[in-house]
Structure 1
Amino acid sequence: MEYFAGLRGAGRNYTTTGINGEFDSLTNFVSLLFQTNGGNSYVHVWPEMEFGWRIVLGSLIGFFGAAFGSVGGVGGGGIYVPMLTLIIGFDAKSSTAISKCMIMGAAASTVYYNLKLRHPTLDMPIIDYDLALLIQPMLMLGISLGVIFNVIFPDWLVTVLLIVLFIGTSTKAFLKGIETWKKETIILQEAASKKNKGNDAEYRVLPSGPSDDASNNSKELMDPEVSIIENVYWKEFGLLMFVWLAFLVLQVTKNYYTSTCSTWYWVLNFLQIPVSLGVSGYEAVSLYQGRRTISSKGSDGTNLKVHQLVTYCSLGVVAGIVGGLLGLGGGFIMGPLFLELGIPPQVSSATATFAMTFSSSMSVVEYYLLKRFPVPYALYFIAVATIAAWIGQHVVRKLIHYLGRASLIIFILAFTIFVSAISLGGVGISNMIAKFHNHEYMGFDDICKYDA
């Protein structure tokens, strides 16, 4: 009996020890994730710039990422970051910064290409300046928040947010692409029917979107080109430049003339809020009162409700935070959002890219002030992205013109977001597992202890 009692006692001790061991492991895991180390754990890794297979392969991946990303209006950062991390050899946060440089180059090239194009069905530029004026200031505010979060947030949290967000947006965009494809198929069938009936009038398939005149169906309105001077709305462009310059002055002053977390540091950060709300609020009130319209939506772009305007501005902030945090273009949010608003795919892509030019260039300035990337590498990949974006725009526009299917842009958008989710998510999970096994610090960093 004593023998069996001893066994039962041993069993109780073993079970208790096992439970305590598991509890301790869970406690250690949570501690690794959420503790703050009183400083900053970031140490950058910048490989030497030398010609070899890494540069060649990275350039090819960056080229196709920029080509597809610029067409979809998403920038391509979800492809750049894994390439820069896994192939070139940068650390994750430096990859994020260089990714923003590439997005800026691709966006600038795409905007230059689009500045000569017109809306596919309406008499207006392909860039919707009123929509950009509503979203861009909030996007800039989000970018500043995202850059701060990039310093603070641990990689595991960024990975979780990225996977959830990208899977959702890519699915939504893909379903929108299928819907648009079906509408285009009906138009193609109607065109074939007219041709079979011997109708001699020219019939050209138009991409989905609003039309202000039924007679447009007999005209060729597929991206006619005009001069850049004629295609720019200078008042709206001037307001967008004002926001950009205001943010630039605030960022330079904050980083060069204040110490981190000082009173003036936070004052300058908070001054970005009235700048953003002032310009976006002016546009929102004008849209609500009917003095301005989101022209690319046709008659649907008038008399917007308060909750709609608040939602659009809020999503602009979210898009900026995602862009600054992950080193991606805000187009991953704006592209699907604009499509849901009923904006034609060409206009959605062009307007999202136009807004990203301002936000991405501001991110580059902020990351440069934080000394987050080596300039020679950044200049090289900017050149690669710039050339690739122009070629991608030219080839896809020709395909759309030939096939009569603007839904190609939506499918490219969905594909780019999905590939980004797989690549960035995979890299993030792999790094998280490696850090956990090596008992590395996985908690939040202290912005006030950041030392570039």
Structure 2
Amino acid sequence: MILTFIAFISPSNAKQTKPISEIFKINHFWDQIYEWRSKTQELQATQLPLPASASWPMVLAGILCFIASSISSAGGIGGGGLFIPILTIVAGLDLKTASALSSFMVTGGSTANVMCNLCTKSPKFGGKSLIDYDIALSSEPCMLLGVSIGVICNLVFPEWLITILFAIFLAWSTSKTCNSGFLFWKTESEEKRRNGFGETENGCCGESIEESLMGHQQVCKLRIPWLKLGVLLLVWLSFFAVYLLRGNKYGQSMIPMEPCGVGYWILSSVQIPLAVVFTAWIVLREENLQHQALTLEGQDLCRDEPSKKLIFPLMALLAGILGGVFGIGGGMLISPLLLQVGIAPEVTAATCSFMVFFSSTMSALQYLLLGMEQIQTALILAAVSFVASLVGLLVVQRAVQKYKRASLIVFSVSIVMALSTVLMTSFGAIEVWRDYKSGKYMGFKLPC
């Protein structure tokens, strides 16, 4: 940006030196992208009588989103960091419409993940479900609170600061996730050398998705903890009611309310005691159950030590804040954090997809109830994401079973994060460049 500023104030030097000419090539590249977006937006307008999904830019965006969803599903990530740039750059949609469609796509993909994971047992983890409901319970309230805080920060921070923070944090997370993947790969290689390359005692590392979907209903019923699901649903309904009454960041709400008025901030602050009460009750309940288990068995308690009780809520709060600031789901941000504290890749992917399901359905229903347009397009893209997630899960699970390498899940997370870093940073740079050229104010703003 500094060199570009010099190029603008020194046009004569720009013609004489090669670096400045290269800068003008970059500027020309941004202008070409803007021209592409303008043309696709004009095409959408000329085809207004037809469904938005019938235009060729939307079809191309749907194909790219199918690929993105199939890759994202393997790591239990929603994929919003890929969907939004694709819909805005390729399909030429505005950010508000792209965010709404992305929430439906994430909902479709996470629904497929949760369906498969609920009906999948893993002999590797003692025949238990891959979803760690305790982590989801203790993390979900703080994640929802963090998203609300992050959305307010998103309105206050300038675009250039959000873009820089996003690039730095996601680049760091991608690096850490890649390192975790290599460590898992090295550990798996050592285990293979010790145990040989034959099949394990049970023949595979877990039940396949096909078997899960073809009628193991009795296993599913035995494995689903209805009480914990009920508590999660209660948390979901409580925050959803606050979101509907308060309205979203675009000023839409179910009741007439003055933006940034007293009622707005009272409803916003209600989320803090909600998250604190739910988290404290869940943590204390888990601690009591742990003491009972220590008395009776004293086994399988390594992940729920008292010293680690607050790790997951704090990580969820951080992931929610960053997700709200950057405009993406928290799944992409909490997955690397879970891997860093030693949670197995299979458990991380299943648990993250379970948490993403609750947050994405809340966002999608909020858009729907507040008068969202292009509902048909949203449902089509959600179905596309649902099918793509099933395909991605099937391929990755077969690869994990065949090669006995759960690190493939970690590498899929790394791929999604790296692509999201490039796309979201480029998209943010385009928006910053447009604001700079138009002379728009680029400092900090009020939240309303």
Q: Same fold (TM over 0.5)?
A: yes
Match of 1:263, as an amino acid? V
Gap change, CA 1:159 and 1:93, over 3 Å in 2: farther
Match of 2:147 in 1: 143
Whether contact under 8 Å (1:75, 1:103) holds in the other structure is: yes
TM-score when normalising by structure 1: 0.77
User: In the TM superposition, what whole-angstrom CA distance separates every residue of 1:128-168 from its partner, at most 9, and x where no partner exists?
Assistant: 10111011111111222233444444332321221111101
State the Cα deviation string for residues 25-79 of structure 1 (Å, max 9, x = none). Answer: xxxxxxxxxxxxxxxxxxxx88641524312210111001111111112211111
Corresponding residue for 1:103? 106
Determine the structure 2 residue equivalent to 1:264: 263
Contact 2:76–2:113 (CA under 8 A) maintained in structure 1: no
Deviates more, 1:416-425 or 1:326-335: 326-335
Q: What is the aligned partner in structure 2 of residue 300 from structure 1? A: 302
The amino acid of 2:57's aligned partner reads: R
The Cα shift of 1:263 comes to 2.2
Q: Out of 47, 65, 71, which is 1:68 matched to?
A: 71
The more displaced of 370-379 and 124-133 is 370-379
1:126 equivalent to 2:130? Answer yes
Return the offset for 1:222. Answer: 2.2
Write the distance in 1 (CA, Å) between the matches of 2:292 and 2:436.
Answer: 54
Question: Contact 2:254 / 2:370 at 8 angstroms: preserved in 1?
Answer: no
Q: What CA deviation, in whole Å up to 9, does each residue of 1:189-239 have, x standing for no partner?
A: 22328x6xxxxxxx51xxxxxxxxxxxxx3346223443322211111110
- What letter is aligned with 1:411? F
Greater shift in the superposed pair: 53-62 or 170-179: 53-62
SS of the counterpart of 1:271?
helix
The match for 1:167 is 171
In structure 2, the CA distance between the partners of 1:222 and 1:192, relative to structure 1 (3 Å rule), is: closer
* Ranges in structure 1 where 5+ consecutive residues have no aligned partner: 1-17, 23-44, 196-202, 205-217
1:128–1:351 contact (8 Å) kept in structure 2: yes
* Greater shift in the superposed pair: 396-405 or 283-292: 283-292
- Please give the per-residue CA displacement for 1:290-328, whole angstroms capped at 9, x wherever unaligned: 3489xxx944224231xx433421221121223333342
| Identity fraction in percent | 29
Aligned to 1:260, the other structure's residue is in SS state coil
For residues 363-416 of structure 1, give each alpha carbon's deviation from its aligned partner in whole angstroms, at most 9, with x where no partner exists: 234445666764333222212111111111111111111111110000000111
Q: Does the CA-based 8 Å contact 1:99-1:327 persist in structure 2?
A: no
Structure 1 SS opposite 2:231:
helix
Note the C-alpha offset of 1:426: 1.1
Gaps of 5+ in 2: 1-5, 11-40, 247-252, 294-298
RMSD over aligned Cα atoms: 2.6
Confirm or deny: 8 A CA contact 2:323 2:333 kept in the other structure: no
Larger radius of gyration: 1
Distance across 1 between alignment mates of 2:170 and 2:284: 32
| Whole-angstrom CA distance in 2 between matches of 1:330 and 1:366 | 17
* Further displaced range: 363-372 or 407-416: 363-372
Name 2:413's counterpart in structure 1.
413
The AA in structure 1 aligned to 2:442 is M
Matches within 5 A, 1:77-92: 77-92=80-95
Larger deviation: 228-237 or 318-327?
Answer: 318-327
Worse-superposed segment, 153-162 or 395-404: 153-162
Instruction: In structure 2, give the amino acid aligned to 1:222.
Output: C
Q: What's the TM-score, normalizing by structure 2?
A: 0.78
Report the CA distance between 1:125 and its aligned residue.
Answer: 1.0
How many residue pairs end up in the alignment? 381
